[in-house]
Chains A and B, each alone.
Chain A
């Protein structure tokens, strides 16, 4: 059983009288332990796709099975619970809670589901160590650099031990050196801890790190099975040609 099975998913936004088709029949399967990059230009539907996979939004049509269960028609609180238990989010703009310090931001999703703070401490500190935040545990987000903030977000996504971590253009607000560090960190976590990542980007450089790349354009998958090397070759060819 695949972790994510998407078949014929469409998403249509209503913009006044006009309809915008953000996804027009997407098929995608993600296996456990994969590190997949969704690649596509701005406006191609990456965020829309990740939102649907993340149970933040409903597809207009099509089927979506997460961990073998149809997500389709559930109410807000059910979806909130699925998100809390099974999915970790990493956003482009970090999205930390400003009034909470690093430790508190990391443990927040666990407290929501009623975990005991004391029993959590060990795990939270381990995750903070894993992402290299040891010296900053008491810092507030506004005292951290962009890269450090994204590390907090990664730790927050991992602390609940989710089945899937969704990262929507997580390096778009970071300089290239920091971007590489963050990508390395995620790859490392994928390799060492077996965390499944779905990572979206429109930055071709990022792809060099990926094991599997899927391309999306105008709401449809262009090449769902492409390996990273094929993509890199294709890009190089496009740049030189």
Chain B
């Protein structure tokens, strides 16, 4: 068996040019796989962070049935937002912050222009503890975020343009109108305090108002429709969600960020699918290269195969010989490609890639990264795949008739 291995390894070095070409193909294929996976890792980490720390929080709590009925009755399924209730949540291990919100459909009026808007009432003192990155989406000179101006409102560019043509002069007097649970419409005077950028695709006509103002307007003192919860580490999300379900009971529903922002999860799954398809195509192409190399080698060495058979080598050993050769090439190419990919990904990680998602105005920096697990996976894929694709030519070699092989085919 040792002599077989030694013969196989020497044969890999025998036709250097062909081995190099095959290795180069494997290197490219594996390198591209590691590179794309690395960039996707960075992108997805940024996406998750944007969602979790910029909008959804790690976990959200609603009244039971809220998410299913949110379109029809956004306010009837409300919940307490008093300190006692919030403290119950804060006591759950790994929870770092809780912020109440009220989401409702309302109207904004400026001068003689009135527009429907998706309204989000947040508590400026708590919101940015729960979703710290969200502060970066606000440009208001601190008027809203400080919480000092009680009637400040933030509008998206889309909404502001609709209301007064060109955005610009801040602190314009305006009014917000909204129907309460019973449908009674009431209004409050507000001041446009600044602009809100969107960091994820979604509703474009969005207005953010202070929670206290909304509670007054909607006659919901001490209540909220949504609690946004931050945890110390993303890995603790499932554990915290389970604890919350236990603590809060069946009157409330607990969702993790990926259930709320399912489009982020779906986008990631789509990206992963595309990567798998691209990687599969790449992999098959380069493995066909390996198969071709083995086949050429088999055809070239027909007489040698015949000689081996003549002196008593069994079919299984002939098969093994060519399989070992292919697996060796696959392993070498895989390791080379893995290292090359790792190099590129590490370089990109240090450099960073700035991107702006479609539907979002906030650019973020992708820092690609890869994992040892993935590297091990692609290397075994290259080696295992090479082995698999070499089965047919190697089998052909092992099935040759000795006489015919000795005659050169």
Contacts and interface: CB of A to CB of B under 8 A. Distances in A.
A97 B6 CA distance: 12
Contact of B11 (A99, A108, A112): A99
Interface string A84-99: 1100010101011111
A31 interface: no
Nearest to A77: B314
A111 interface: yes
Interface residues on B, range: 20 to 34
B312 interface: yes
B309 A80 contact: yes
A113 B312 contact: yes
Interface of B is mostly: helix
Interface in B303-328: 303-304, 306-315, 317
Contacts of B311: 83-84, 89, 108-109, 112, 156
A116 B11 CA distance: 23
B14 interface: yes
Contacts of A95: 303-304, 306-307, 310, 406
Contacts of B7: 97, 99-100
Interface stretch (A51-59, A60-68, A144-152, A180-188): A51-59
Contacts of B308: 97
Given A93-B303, A108-B3, A99 B313 contact: no
Contacts of B3: 104, 108, 111-112
Contacts of B14: 98-99
Interface in A23-73: 51, 54, 56-57
A81 interface: yes
Interface in A152-181: 156
B247 interface: no
Contacts of A96: 307
B303 A56 contact: no
A175 B362 CA distance: 84
A95 B311 CA distance: 11
Given A95-B303, A99-B11, A108-B3, A54 B315 contact: no
A51 B313 CA distance: 16
Given A80-B313, A84-B312, A98 B304 contact: yes
Nearest to B403: A57
A56 B304 contact: no
A97 to B, nearest CB: 6
B179 interface: no
Contact of B307 (A84, A97, A104): A97
Closest 8 CB pairs of A and B: A84-B312, A99-B10, A95-B307, A109-B311, A57-B403, A56-B402, A111-B3, A80-B312
6 contacts: A57-B403, A89-B311, A95-B303, A95-B304, A109-B311, A156-B311
Given A80-B312, A99-B14, 19 more contacts: A54-B310, A56-B406, A57-B402, A57-B403, A77-B314, A80-B313, A84-B312, A89-B311, A95-B307, A95-B406, A96-B307, A97-B7, A98-B14, A99-B7, A99-B10, A104-B3, A108-B3, A112-B3, A112-B311
Interface of B: 3, 7, 10-11, 14, 303-304, 306-315, 317, 401-403, 406
Interface of A: 51, 54, 56-57, 76-77, 80-81, 83-85, 89, 91, 93, 95-100, 104, 108-109, 111-113, 156
